[in-house]
Amino acid sequence: MEHLEQQERMEMWEKIQETLINERIDQFRAEFLELHPYDQAKIFEEQDEDIRFLIYSYLSPEEMAEVIEQVDQDIVSDFIIEMVPAFAAKILEYMSTDDAVDILNELDKNKVASFLTIMDKRSSEEIKELLHYEEKTAGSIMTTEFVVIHTTMTVKDAMRHLRKEAPDAETIYYIYVVNSYKKLVGVISLRDLIIAEGDWLIEEVMSDRVVSVPVGEDQEDIAQMMRDYDFLALPVVDFQEHLLGIITVDDIMDVMEEEASDDYSKLAGISDVESSGDTAISSAKKRLPWLVILLFLGMLTASLIGRFEATLAKDPILAVFIPLIAGMAGNTGTQALAVAVRSISTGDMNKKGKAAVIWQEAKTGLITGVSCGVIITLLIAFWYHDFYLGMLVGISIMATLLVATISGAFIPLVMDRFNIDPAVASGPFITTLNDVISIFIYFGLATTFMNFLL
């Protein structure tokens, strides 16, 4: 099924909508179900409530489950809530267990209990198993729908078992092997299983070099591991190496998107990720904590400028360059922050070493500082016909960019050392902190060399 562009999707929907409204159910189903589930989901998301209820009535829970799995995570729970509970429960049954758990984690506990009561016992038990795991851990994102074989099986028996279990499995490209104690002892690829002789034992053809993750492992670390090893799936085990589930690459793609969005919100000084459905009040609540902190830091900057009131009174032209110096400090500090946070999140920090990263940023800050300092010195000397003023601003820029770059790289490392998310060292925080540093450097130099200026 070909993926549709936005314009094509709209044109297709106009045709489908006509069949839907005119109750030509067979034609609607034929045209709608021919689309890729992603396109079905995008069309579905854009409809008003009346049209959505028509779609609910024309599609089976199994067909609707494929659509819901592709719907944006920020709004999918709203659709589940608006459905008839029995219909929604059936949809959750047909969905991958991990996807169903993701949706239920967004719902009120009473609604979750209601859905679990309506669902069939097997699906309900599988979902309950995953719901009790801490959010953003391996247990919370793994699926229990996988194929497992035993070491004592022959290849022929394993293939027979695979054909039986494959329709309900999330993936069959890796088949995990357990011993008689249900401990994970090996893995075999589908290709190796197909080309092996039928009477060989699984323990003879499997690889015992299997990489697994503990059930409590952080999802960000798992994403890093899957990227490093190029895995399509990763087994999850308990402290006794019992196989509990697997994490597939599509789950990790969702995690990477979530983590990137989370880091971006923190870098922007937002305590939590905002969605398009947030109200003005809820958005304000998420932004206020950082803004209040930055407000106090801003007062510190204002107070610092007040301390140098006498210097400003002697030469008011100094005030013109405050925004320039503070802005440059904030910009270069944020650049260094982005590099440091990325190095920490990708693991490059451990490979290079923290001292090497700081030294690299210090050299970068020195080069950019000298370059910008020379440029601004010449510009001011030409524009204001005052070489000493140009020298003052140029040296201030050079020193400020050097210090701001080092602080932008150093602060995330300190936070990471104390197990605090380095992304919390947000752009606004670094910017405001560097404002204070830059103002102190600028007016400190101006006060020291005031005689040259006058």
Q: Between 194 and 278, whose confidence is greater? A: 194
What pLDDT score was predicted for residue 6? 65
**6-135 — its CATH code?**
1.25.60.10
CA distance 402 to 332: 9
Find all residues with CB under 8 Å of 148, minimum gap 6, and list them. Answer: 175, 176, 177, 178, 243
Per-residue pLDDT tens over the stretch 244-291: 999 988 888 877 776 666 655 555 555 555 555 566 776 677 667 767
Q: Residue 176 phi/psi, 5° resolution?
A: -95, 145
Average pLDDT, integer, range 215-231: 86
Task: Look at residue 35 and give its three-state secondary structure.
Answer: coil
| Structural domain 280-453, CATH architecture | Orthogonal Bundle (1.10)
Average pLDDT, integer, range 397-423: 81
Total residue count of the chain as it appears in this document: 454
> Amino acid letter at 254?
D
Strands 184-189 and 213-214, bridge-based pairing? unpaired
**148-260 — its CATH code?**
3.10.580.10
Closest of 143, 240, 137 to residue 182, by C-alpha: 240
Helices and strands of the chain, counted as H and E runs: 24, 6
What pLDDT score was predicted for residue 99? 87
Closest of 185, 186, 184, 187 to residue 238, by C-alpha: 184
Q: What is the DSSP letter of 247?
A: E
Sign of CA dihedral 108, 113, 114, 116: positive
Q: Which two tokens stand for residue 376?
A: 């601004």
Average pLDDT, integer, range 362-390: 91
CA distance 444 to 403: 15
Q: Between 14 and 273, whose confidence is greater? A: 14
Tokens 């793609």 sit at which residue? 253
> Lowest-pLDDT range, 193-207, 235-249, 291-305?
291-305
Q: Which two tokens stand for residue 397?
A: 């820029």
User: Is 75 within 8 Å of 67 (Cβ atoms)?
Assistant: no
DSSP-assigned states of every residue in 413-429 = HHHHHTT--GGGS-HHH
Closest of 448, 355, 360 to residue 396, by C-alpha: 448
Per-residue pLDDT tens over the stretch 347-372: 666 667 778 888 888 899 999 999 99
- Compute the mean pLDDT over every residue in the chain, rounded to the nearest whole number: 84
CA distance 295 to 401: 23
Banded model confidence at residue 1, pLDDT cuts 50, 70, 90: very low
Q: Where are the domains of the chain?
A: 6-135, 148-260, 280-453
CA distance 186 to 231: 15
* pLDDT above 90 as % of the chain: 30
Banded model confidence at residue 66, pLDDT cuts 50, 70, 90: very high
* pLDDT above 70 as % of the chain: 87
Closest of 435, 408, 399, 427 to residue 300, by C-alpha: 435
Per-residue pLDDT tens over the stretch 70-119: 998 888 999 999 999 999 999 999 998 888 988 998 888 888 988 999 99
CA distance 260 to 349: 18
Average pLDDT, integer, range 222-237: 87
Q: What is the DSSP letter of 346?
A: H
User: Is 407 within 8 Å of 437 (Cβ atoms)?
Assistant: yes
Work out the angle between the directed axes of helices 280-307 and 427-448 (0-180°, nearest 10). 10
